[in-house]
Amino acid sequence: MLIPEQSLPQELEIPDQTQFEVKASRNLVQWLREQKVSLAFTTPPLKLFLIGVKTDNRLSIFERTFNRCLGIATTQNSLYLSTRYEIWKLENVLPQGQIMNDGYDKQYVPRIVYRTGFLGIHDVAVDNSGRVIFVNTRFGCLATLSERYSFIPLWHPPFLSGIRPGDRCHLNGLAMKDGSPAYVTSVSQTDEFDGWRQHRANGGCIVDVKTNDVIVTGLSMPHSPRWYQDRLWLTNSGTGEFGYVNFATGRFEPIVFAPGFLRGLCFVGDYAVVGSSKPRHGDIYSGLALDDALKKHGEAPRLGFFIINLRTGEIENWLLLEGNLRELYDVVALPLVRQPMALGLISEEIQNQIWFNPFPS
C-alpha cells in the first residue's frame, strides 16, 4: 500500500454538513492525462463523484447527491445511475469540442428517470442494442426497464426456485461480453430469504448466464465481474483481493491485495481501477478473512480507488476519501473526457439551466 504523498484539500459538503478530505497519489493527475480519461464513482448512500483534470493541471473533483446511488453504466454521451427506487439517465449536453468557462468538457444532466420501486438494483449495463440491463437483487434476477412495469425479468440463477421478492442469494454483479450478459456474481446459492448472510465467508459463486453453470465457488462476497482482454476479472471482496477466473481449474486467481472491501471495477488500457470500502465492526462486511488480512499487512481499510497495473500487479496510483463516508460501490471510466461535471436534483440549477436546438431539422 502506498503512503499518501499529496493531500488535496477539497472541502465538500453532504446534507448533514459532514466534511471529508480527498487525498491522491502524486502521479494520479499525470496518469489521467496520459490515459486521456476521467472517472466516475458512487459512494452510497448519497454521492456521485466525477474525477478529472482542470485546465491548470490540478485534480478536478465534482460531486452531486442522489439517493442511495449504486451502479453506473456509460455510453458515449450518457451515464445511467441506479438509485434507491429509480434508474436515471444523465445526458451530456455539451457539443463535442465545446468547453465551459470553468473548463468542463462534459456536463451530464438528469434527463430520463425510470421509477422501478425498491429493487435493490446493483450493477447496471447497456447491451449492444441500447437496452439497459440491471441486477435486480431483491428479486434475484437480471432485468430490464419497462414503461409500464417496475421491471421485466430476463434471467435468474439455477439455484433460485423462481422470481419473487426477498434477497435470497444476494445476486449483485454483472459482466457483459460482446454486448450481452455473460456472467454474474452471487454471495451464495441459497434460496431462502436472507440466507446469503450465513454464507458470506465462502459461499460466493460465479454463474455463466448462457449455460446456467456455476463455474466458480468458494468465494467471499464476490462483486464486480468484468470481461476484459479475454479474461473474466472480479473482486473477491471478503478477502480484499482482485484477480481473474482460471477457467481451466475453475478457480479465482488473485493478483493483488488492497486494503479494503474491494468493489467497483473498470479498465483503462493495461490498468484496472478498483474501488474500496471501509468495513465496520458488526456490519455485513466485517467478520471475514479481510479482517485478518488487514492485520497481517498492518493496514487500515481505505475508502477510494486503486489503480493497478495488470502487467505487474502493482498499485501505481490511488485516490482516497477520509471522513464519515464509508462505502464505494461502482467505478467507471469516461474515455476522452478531461473534466466532467453533472447537474444534481437538490439545488435550483436543474430548473434554471435550459438547452434547446434553435435549428431543428
In a domain, 336, yes or no: yes
Q: Is the pLDDT at 80 greater than 70, yes or no? A: yes
Cis peptide bond upstream of 45, omega within 30: yes
C-alpha cell at 115: 421509477
In a domain, 263, yes or no: yes
Q: Report residue 355's pLDDT band, with 50, 70 and 90 as the boundaries.
A: confident
- Cβ of 197: how many Cβ atoms within 10 Å? 14
DSSP H helical ranges for the chain: 28-35, 289-297, 349-352
Contact 184, 173 (CB under 8 A): yes
Q: Is the pLDDT at 12 greater than 70, yes or no? A: no
Average pLDDT, the chain: 92
Range of the domain at 81: 18-352
In a domain, 359, yes or no: no
Q: Is the pLDDT at 288 greater than 50, yes or no? A: yes
Q: How many angstroms separate the CA atoms of 80 and 97, rounded?
A: 22
Contact 296, 14 (CB under 8 A): no
Q: How many angstroms separate the CA atoms of 107 and 76, rounded?
A: 13
Amino acid at 58: R
The predicted pLDDT at position 357 comes to 75
In a domain, 1, yes or no: no
The DSSP letter of residue 18 is -
What average pLDDT does this structure show over 326-335? 97
What length does the chain have?
Answer: 361
Contact 361, 76 (CB under 8 A): no
Classify the C-alpha dihedral 267-261-83-153 as positive or negative: positive
In a domain, 140, yes or no: yes
In a domain, 11, yes or no: no
User: Does the pTM of the predicted model rise above 0.85?
Assistant: yes
CA distances from 358 to 97, 355, 361 (A): 19, 9, 10
Q: Report residue 346's pLDDT band, with 50, 70 and 90 as the boundaries.
A: confident
Q: Report residue 169's pLDDT band, with 50, 70 and 90 as the boundaries.
A: very high
Contact 62, 342 (CB under 8 A): yes
In a domain, 166, yes or no: yes
Task: With CA atoms as reference, report the closest residue to 80 among 114, 38, 44.
Answer: 114
Work out how many domains the chain is built from and give that number: 1
The predicted pLDDT at position 361 comes to 64
In a domain, 222, yes or no: yes
Q: Would you state the torsion angle of the CA atoms of residues 182, 186, 192, 198, taken in this order, to the nearest 10 degrees?
A: 170
C-alpha cell at 195: 440466507
Tell the burial category of 207 from Cβ atoms under 10 Å away from its Cβ (0-12, 13-18, 19+): buried
The predicted pLDDT at position 134 comes to 98
Q: Is the pLDDT at 3 greater than 60, yes or no? A: no
pLDDT tens readout for residues 15-61? 443 577 999 999 999 999 999 999 999 999 999 999 999 999 999 99
Contact 32, 268 (CB under 8 A): no
CATH number for the domain spanning 288: value is 2.120.10.30
pLDDT tens readout for residues 214-269? 999 999 999 999 999 999 999 999 999 999 999 999 999 999 999 999 999 999 99
pLDDT tens readout for residues 295-327? 999 999 999 999 999 999 999 999 999 988 999
The predicted pLDDT at position 4 comes to 35
Q: How many angstroms separate the CA atoms of 232 and 234, rounded?
A: 7
Q: Can you tell me which residue has the cell 429509480? A: 86
- For 148, the 3-state DSSP assignment is coil
